[in-house]
Amino acid sequence: MTLEEKLGQLTQLGAGQPEFSAAVGLVGSVLYTTGAAETNELQRATLAKSRLEIPILFGFDVIHGYRTIFPIPLAMASTWDPALGELAAHIAATEARAAGIRWTFAPMVDIARDPRWGRIAEGAGEDPFLGAAMAAAYVRGFQGNDLSAPDSVLACAKHYAAYGAAEGGRDYGPVEMSEATLREVYLPPFHAAVDAGTGTLMAAFNSLNRVPATANRHLLDDILRREWKFRGFVVSDYAGVTEMIDHGIAATPQEAARKAITAGLDMAMWDNSFATLAQEVRAGRLPESVVDQAVRRVLRAKFRVGLFADPYTDETRAAAVTLTKEHRDAARRIAQRSMILLKNEGALLPLPKSGKTIAVVGPFADSKADMLGPWSGSGKPEETVSVMEGIRSVTAVSQAMESADLIVAVLGEEREISGEAASRASLDLPDDQQRLLQSLIASGKPVVLVVMSGRPLTISWAAEHVAAIVQAWFLGSEGGNAIADVLFGTINPSGKLPVTVPRTVGQVPIYYAHLPSGRPANPGDKYTNKYADTPIGPLYPFGFGLSYTRFEYSNLKLSAPSMTMNDRLTVSAEIRNAGNRAGEEIVQFYINDPVASVSRPVKELKGFQRVALAPGEVKRVEFTVTRQQLEFWSDRGWLAEPGRFNIWIGPNSVDGLQGSFELLH
Ligand code: BGC
């Protein structure tokens, strides 16, 4: 290959960009072109011009569905069911591949502990353990066992790394953090994605400890390639290479490109900066072997997805595999399990299917576009079920509040103020919605609040005054049906919060796995770790969620009082469905190391299981403790220190049965 041919393989452009038309036949990857016919046409034009007949790798953001849209990832994480995430990703891959896409820019696996950051919608929330489980599941779902199969696409774990920790929650902002926080909190989902075989990663927009992720050797080389043995390739985010000029670490695109490729970046998205590397090589500032290595990684991926064997897409396939009944059914099933029942005073829910007139009100009552969420692929509003439609398919709906017996209010945020470039400084309901809610409550009629949002909202007033609250996030194509399924009790809600809900934005960052203070928060003592004007603790804790039945936890058992470093221990408890409805409970397992050489989080999730229980049924749920779960990042790498550990099995991050064991040398 000539140097220009090589650099073309390291460049990804949009087909509409002027730089692209000038370089057809050279450019290695194209983003945003979709459709079997459209991608085939571009592929033909490319192969006709490419001296070595190297096909284009088509990439697209298939985040939570391609045409059949699934709940946003924050909602899918609320299922605490990685198998459902895997299924959604597999269906998305099937539909996307039939539309000519070979590579998705997903999963987004950024941990987010700041709901002001709009992109919290795209990930699995605040916890690294849950985040890692979802990350691995998505990678398996997208890629399958054979990347060249007609239902597989190449995955791209993004945004590497620590993008979710942007200062002030402002998108694209800088991040400074300790190596320990990076390793223990922000990297585990990426490591899990790599272990699950993700073919690619995307470098994040942010700087990490003053070096943009796009050219961060510590991230791209030391950790990703040397420690984790990643063999795929890394693409920048959109114009991430030229943005290094604004970060202040390069004066020209050429200098930025040299720094990026030298640090371990293989492909530049949306800019032609890598083409300028020819001059760097010829001037002796960049060894050509660095370019060769990146080209090898990109070409290997093209072989793996089967592009050289068949660069085209069967144009008849999409119709048969897109938005099928089976796909819609799966979207509904997943959406049913993504909702979280936050409050249900006086068992207002489930609602009766007949005999009562229901008014469905609020700006999102009949919105289809918002239901799709902020990254809706090729999803179409007209193929989406609104809340109004879902409820109407079960019972009569009255538009007039006056004649209704009860009110379902669908409030929250528009999809445009969630997702990328949608950071918020307030997490309250917008004023007009808050006023509407207050007037509904003033009417004296029972009110059910359905919250549609891409982040936890500070609904403190509602939590006090509204009888029933369902956190519904953005649920995708079948959202309205799934919401009706929960409201009328066809389905017993089972989701749990993958993120802490603050009382007020001033509490942010607030997350359950925080480090202790020398003066733990105490309402009776002024000089403790709290605010003077806000109660201690969140509005709803991480892991919280109610059901139409009740679960009781009892009989905590440890298989032994201690374990050695190479041992294992099992911890179990009995969970009983004490109500009269079948239900599913997400049982959670937490650990704490109360005395170590460094301060450790007050609790850390280390296991979870979704269990189905018939009324009266009891099941013993078991978790295994391994040394790895007890380790933390130290100056000497991962380390577990002997001593006593606390454990909890419980329904959320606050409640539960507590025990302890000893870790021996
Ligand atoms: C986003 C990425 C996305 C890319 C391509 C960027 O603005 O940060 O998540 O994959 O655009 O659409």
CB 45 within 8 A of CB 24: yes
Give 33's Cβ-side CA count (13 Å radius).
21
Query: Directed axis angle between helix 82-98 and helix 325-338, to 10°?
Result: 150
Give the pLDDT mean for 24-48. Answer: 98
Residue 398 scores a pLDDT above 90: no
Residue 317 has φ and ψ, to the nearest 5°, of -75, -40
Ligand 1: does its nearest atom lie under 6 Å from the Cβ of 237? yes
Is 89 within 8 Å of 152 (Cβ atoms)? no
pLDDT in tens, 164-179: 999 999 999 999 999 9
Kindly give the distance from the C-alpha atom of residue 406 to the centroid of ligand 1, in angstroms, as a whole number.
Answer: 42
Residue 238 in contact with ligand 1 by CB distance below 6 A: yes
Q: How far is the CA of 204 from the centre of ligand 1 (A)?
A: 9
Report the nearest-CA residue for atom 7 of ligand 1. Answer: 238
Distances (CA, A) of 126 to 115, 380, 456, 458: 9, 30, 11, 17
Pocket test for ligand 1, best of 202, 238, 267, 270 (most atoms within 8 A of CB): 238
Q: Span 210-216, mean pLDDT?
A: 98
Report the residue among 58, 64, 105 best suited for mutation to probe ligand 1: largest number of ligand atoms under 8 A from its CB.
105
Q: Where are the alpha helices (H) located in 55-198, listed in sequence order?
A: 73-77, 82-98, 128-143, 179-181, 188-195
Q: Which of 380, 321, 330 is nearest to 67 (CA)?
A: 380
pLDDT digits (tens, 9 = 90+) for 247-262: 999 999 999 999 999 9
Cα(634)–Cα(598) distance, integer angstroms: 9
May I ask the CATH class of domain 322-507?
alpha beta
Q: What is the pLDDT of residues 108-140, one digit of tens each?
A: 999 999 999 999 999 999 999 999 999 999 999
Pocket mutation for ligand 1, best pick of 31, 117, 375, 420 (most atoms within 8 Å of C-beta):
420
Cα 87 to chain centroid, rounded: 15
Catalytic: 237?
Answer: yes
pLDDT above 90: residue 408: yes
Residue 640 CA to ligand 1 centre (angstroms): 38
Which residue in 477, 373, 355 sits closest to 415, CA to CA?
A: 373
Average pLDDT over every residue of 63-92: 98
Q: pLDDT tens digits for 426-451? A: 999 999 999 999 999 999 999 999 99
The answer on pLDDT for 402 being more than 90 is: no
Q: Report the C-alpha gap between 241 and 397 in whole angstroms.
A: 53
Q: Which of 547, 387, 358, 538 lies closest to 474 in space, CA to CA?
A: 387
What is the distance in A from the centroid of ligand 1 to the CA of 269?
Answer: 9
Residue nearest to atom 12 of ligand 1 (CA): 61
Say how far apart CA 516 and CA 25 lie, in whole Å: 58
Q: At what angle do helices 288-304 and 253-263 cross, to 10 degrees?
A: 70
Strand order in the sheet with 643-650: 562-564, 657-664, 643-650, 583-592, 604-613
pLDDT reported for residue 401: 85
- Which residue do the tokens 């380790």 mark? 631
For ligand 1, atom 2: residue with the closest CA: 237
The secondary structure of 464-488 as a DSSP string is HH-SEEEE-----TTHHHHHHHHHT
Instruction: Measure 654 CA to ligand 1 centroid, in angstroms.
Output: 36
pLDDT of residue 102: 98
Q: Measured between alpha carbons, how far is 260 from 253 in angstroms, rounded to an integer?
A: 10
Biggest alpha carbon distance in the chain? 82
Q: Which of 12, 32, 61 to mutate to test the pocket of ligand 1 (most atoms within 8 A of CB)?
A: 61
Cβ-proximal residues to 61 (8 Å cutoff; 6+ apart), any chain: 104, 105, 106, 375, 377
Residue 146: CB atoms within 10 A of its CB come to 12
Q: How many A from CA of 70 to the centre of ligand 1?
A: 19
Q: What is the mean pLDDT of the chain?
A: 98
Task: Provide the percentage of residues in the chain whose pLDDT is more than 90.
Answer: 99
Distance CA 442, CA 430 (A): 19
Domain 59-291: homologous superfamily in CATH: Glycoside hydrolase, family 3, N-terminal domain (3.20.20.300)
Relative to beta strand 583-592, strand 643-650 is: antiparallel
Closest residue by Cα to atom 11, ligand 1, is 238
Closest CA to 41 of 5, 15, 12: 15
Cα separation of the two ends of the chain: 57
Task: Tell which residue, 364, 358, 446, 351, has the closest CA to residue 397.
Answer: 358
Q: Which of 237, 266, 485, 593 is catalytic?
A: 237
pLDDT of residue 574: 98
Q: How far is the CA of 150 from the centre of ligand 1 (A)?
A: 25
Cα 393 to Cα 353, 403, 656, distances in angstroms = 10, 20, 39
Q: Collapsing DSSP states into helix, strand and coil, what is residue 173?
A: coil
Distance (angstroms) between ligand 1 centre and the Cα of 613 equals 41
**Residues 331, 385 contacting (CB under 8 angstroms):** no
Q: Is the CB of 105 under 6 A from ligand 1?
A: yes
**Nearest Cα residue to atom 5 of ligand 1:** 238
Three-state secondary structure of 416-466: HHCCCCCCCCCCCCCHHHHHHHHHHHHCCCCEEEEEECCCCCCCHHHHHHC
**Which residues are within 8 A (CB) of 126 and not within 5 positions of it... i.e. 6 or more apart?**
111, 112, 113, 498, 499, 500, 511, 512, 513, 542
Cα Rg of the chain (Å, integer): 26
- Of the pLDDT bands very low, low, confident and very high (cuts 50, 70, 90), residue 95 is very high
Q: Token digits for 510?
A: 């607030």
Sorted by where each begins, the domain ranges of the chain are 59-291, 322-507, 551-663
Distance from chain centroid for Cα 485: 24
Residue 656 or residue 401, greater confidence: 656
The whole-number average pLDDT for the span 230-245 is 98
6 within 8 A of 274, measured Cβ to Cβ: no
What is the pLDDT, as a whole number, of residue 137? 99
How close is the Cα of 95 to the center of ligand 1, in Å? 20
pLDDT score for 400: 84
Query: What's the rounded Cα separation, in Å, for the pair 602 and 529?
Result: 14
What residues pair up with 540 in beta bridges, in sequence order? 501
Q: Is the CB of 172 under 6 A from ligand 1?
A: no
| CATH, range 551-663 | 2.60.40.10
Distance CA 522, CA 530 (A): 8
CA distance 563 to 145: 37
Side chain identity at residue 415, one-letter code: R
CB of residue 420 inside a 6 A radius of ligand 1? yes
394 touches 351 (CB < 8 A): no
For ligand 1, mutation pick of 237, 269, 376, 378 (most atoms within 8 Å of CB): 237
Number of Cβ within a 10 Å radius of residue 536: 14
Q: What is the pLDDT of residues 308-332, one digit of tens each?
A: 999 999 999 999 999 999 999 999 9
